[in-house]
Amino acid sequence: MAWEIEERYFERREIKAALDFARAGGIAVHRNFDNYAGTRSPRGMRMDRPFLHVIGLRPRLEQWGRGHGLRPEWIQPEKRRGVAHYDVFGEFAQRLIDRLQRREEVRRHFALFLARFESPLYGQLAQGIVADPTILDLAGRAPRGQPPANLLFGAVHYLLLKGLGHPLAAYYPSVNTSVLRGEPYPAFREFCAEHEGRILDLLATRRVQTNDVARSAVLLPGFSVVAARAERPLALVEIGASAGLNLLFDRYSYDYGNGNVCGDPESKVRIECSVRSELVPPLEMPRVAWRLGIDLKPVDIRDTDQALWLRALVWPDQPWRSELLLAAIRLAQANRSEIIQGDALEVLPRAAAIAPVDAALCIFSSYTVYQFSPEQQDRLAAVLEGIAATRDLYRLSFEWHPGEESYLELASFEGGRREDLRLASAHDHGRWLKWLDPARVLPGP
Ligand SMILES: C[S@@+](CC[C@H](N)C(=O)[O-])C[C@H]1O[C@@H](n2cnc3c(N)ncnc32)[C@H](O)[C@@H]1O
């Protein structure tokens, strides 16, 4: 892997930003008018859509052109304030746009880590990655629909947890107890270069399936609301169950602060979640009559390699999360839930048809629907409405909307009527929640 010249794609209206970027030493790929289409270039080639100017300082542009099989004499002179350009068009131009747009998408995803996620190590690494086209392109090889930052971080962490010896390990508290301080990015970059093949293989074959047990602390008050409304035990179906750990939420113990505790006090899975609102959520533990998970690729926690992948998806500097995960894995190994392999869009109607009729059917998901395309999200809504036409249904979701707060939401379909409630806002990994629904709170003493 070689350090590359920074390239960036600019839309037609962004000409000023494109020129500034090129003058500062970058290669600006600027979309031009498509009305050149069909005409001939000065070299006599037919120019097809899209039509781009690749703009840069001449030496930079020559270097870029050499890397792309373009000759220096094809460069158009510096008409505009010190920068020259190549005219490029057709398939070559489209491939360039696709590559750079993907890079931007990936860059934005890593930038989310900087803005939102609380891992100092991944924050430091993300800072290096957002400015590094080589690593952005590597992460961009993640399948569409998968979060590239989580997948690349997961792949590297997995290889280190497997014992691959490298100086990078010294920065990972999950693999090394005496952690090295300082700048981990050069070692990360070197690791990616040395193990590019293994990383690409993991990006192609593994999925972001983080099974975050503490999300149960956010889901539990939602289940409690459903059971109180329906006055019946629950028939649970989880969309995107991963290893099914949140299906076992009633086997865990919870501490919400200020003496608000619930669940099984003997449980080895002890979840702390602080309530950051005046309103205290309802914490009555519902009875579960039946439970079923659905996942495209269920994680079998009896398989040590799959369990290791789950661990690898937890940030290396958040030991409390991996401890919780390990405790929940041990519990689940002795209390397995049924998880059907398949696309929830296909499986849900069948799952609803076999759920006991005397229980309240609650279809829930956490951090899953963001992996659906907009078209799949519409189909999911239609599938749920189809089920709601046959029986009462409670749809509980705690979902990620990148760049926004995450909410716990309930859509109740009772007797053919739909009601939507926003119950809480909460931390991605269940560290805290704010209860928002004054009509449904912990009963007073
Ligand atoms: C990020 S994980 C979240 C797991 C779990 N719900 C949690 O919050 O800990 C998302 C899961 O959804 C699954 N998934 C994605 N699309 C799916 C689909 N169309 N049908 C079923 N499962 C799906 C993935 O395989 C993955 O295991």
CA of 380 to the centre of ligand 1 (A): 14
Does the C-beta of 399 come closer than 6 Å to ligand 1? no
Q: CA 56, CA 81: separation in Å to the nearest integer?
A: 11
- Minimal-distance CA residue to ligand 1 atom 12: 240
Q: What is the dihedral angle through the alpha carbons of 84, 89, 95, 99, rounded to the nearest 10 degrees?
A: 30
Residues 6+ apart with CB under 8 A from 83: 19, 22, 23, 55, 56, 57, 61
* 197 and 280 fall within a common domain: no
Does the C-beta of 367 come closer than 6 Å to ligand 1? yes
* Angle, alpha carbons 15-17-22 (nearest 5°): 95
Domain count, the chain: 3
Note whether residue 101 is domain-resident: no
- pLDDT(3) > 50: no
- Minimal-distance CA residue to ligand 1 atom 26: 209
Note whether residue 275 is domain-resident: yes
Residue to mutate, 296, 310, 369, ligand 1, most ligand atoms under 8 Å from C-beta:
296
Q: CA 23, CA 14: separation in Å to the nearest integer?
A: 14
Note whether residue 443 is domain-resident: no
- Minimal-distance CA residue to ligand 1 atom 16: 371
Residue with tokens 């007073």, as numbered in its chain:
444
- pLDDT(212) > 70: yes
* 193 and 226 fall within a common domain: no
* 396 and 277 fall within a common domain: yes
HSE (side-chain half, CA atoms, 13 Å) at 196 = 13
Residues 6+ apart with CB under 8 A from 97: 9, 29, 31, 50, 52
* 190 and 227 fall within a common domain: no
Tell which of 96, 131, 147 closes a domain.
96
Residue with tokens 């360039």, as numbered in its chain:
96
From start to end of 182-287, where are the E strands?
234-239, 253-255, 261-263, 270-272, 274-275
Chain mean pLDDT for the chain: 92
* 220 and 359 fall within a common domain: yes
* 165 and 252 fall within a common domain: no
The ligand 1 atom nearest the CA atom of 211: 9
CB atoms within 10 A of CB 226: 22
* 187 and 304 fall within a common domain: no
* CB 66, CB 75: distance < 8 Å: no
* 253 and 343 fall within a common domain: yes
Name the token pair of 224: 């409690």
Burial class (CB in 10 A: 0-12, 13-18, 19+), 199: buried
* 176 and 264 fall within a common domain: no
Q: What tens digit of pLDDT does each residue of 36-69 get?
A: 667 777 677 777 778 899 999 999 999 999 999 9
Tell which of 171, 187, 205 closes a domain.
205
Note whether residue 74 is domain-resident: yes
- pLDDT(405) > 90: no
Any idea which of 153-162, 218-227, 367-376, 396-405 has the lowest mean pLDDT? 396-405
* 77 and 20 fall within a common domain: yes
Residue with tokens 């030496």, as numbered in its chain:
59
Q: CA 169, CA 191: separation in Å to the nearest integer?
A: 10
- Minimal-distance CA residue to ligand 1 atom 5: 211
* 198 and 217 fall within a common domain: no
CA of 42 to the centre of ligand 1 (A): 53
CA of 382 to the centre of ligand 1 (A): 19
HSE (side-chain half, CA atoms, 13 Å) at 412 = 15
Residue to mutate, 117, 209, 398, ligand 1, most ligand atoms under 8 Å from C-beta:
209
Note whether residue 271 is domain-resident: yes
Note whether residue 381 is domain-resident: yes
Residue 139, classed as helix, strand or coil, is helix
Predicted TM-score (pTM) of the model is: 0.86
User: Tell me, what amino acid is at 51?
Assistant: F
Tell which of 61, 96, 131 closes a domain.
96
Note whether residue 278 is domain-resident: yes
* 338 and 198 fall within a common domain: no
Task: Give the H or E element holding residue 15.
Answer: helix 15-23
By C-alpha distance, which of 293, 253, 287, 277 is closest to 422?
A: 277
- pLDDT(445) > 60: no
CA of 165 to the centre of ligand 1 (A): 31
Task: Give the H or E element holding residue 90.
Answer: helix 90-115
* CB 423, CB 408: distance < 8 Å: yes
* Angle, alpha carbons 387-377-219 (nearest 5°): 70
Note whether residue 105 is domain-resident: no
Q: What tens digit of pLDDT does each residue of 344-356 get?
A: 999 999 999 999 9
* Beta strands 7-10 and 417-426, pairing class: unpaired
Does the C-beta of 216 come closer than 6 Å to ligand 1? no
The parent domain of residue 276 ranges over 213-435
Residue with tokens 């593994």, as numbered in its chain:
206
How far out from the chain centre does Cα 403 lie?
11
pLDDT confidence of residue 113: 75
Indicate the pLDDT class of residue 358, thresholds 50, 70 and 90. very high
Q: What tens digit of pLDDT does each residue of 219-231 get?
A: 999 999 999 999 9
CA of 294 to the centre of ligand 1 (A): 8
Residues 6+ apart with CB under 8 A from 303: none
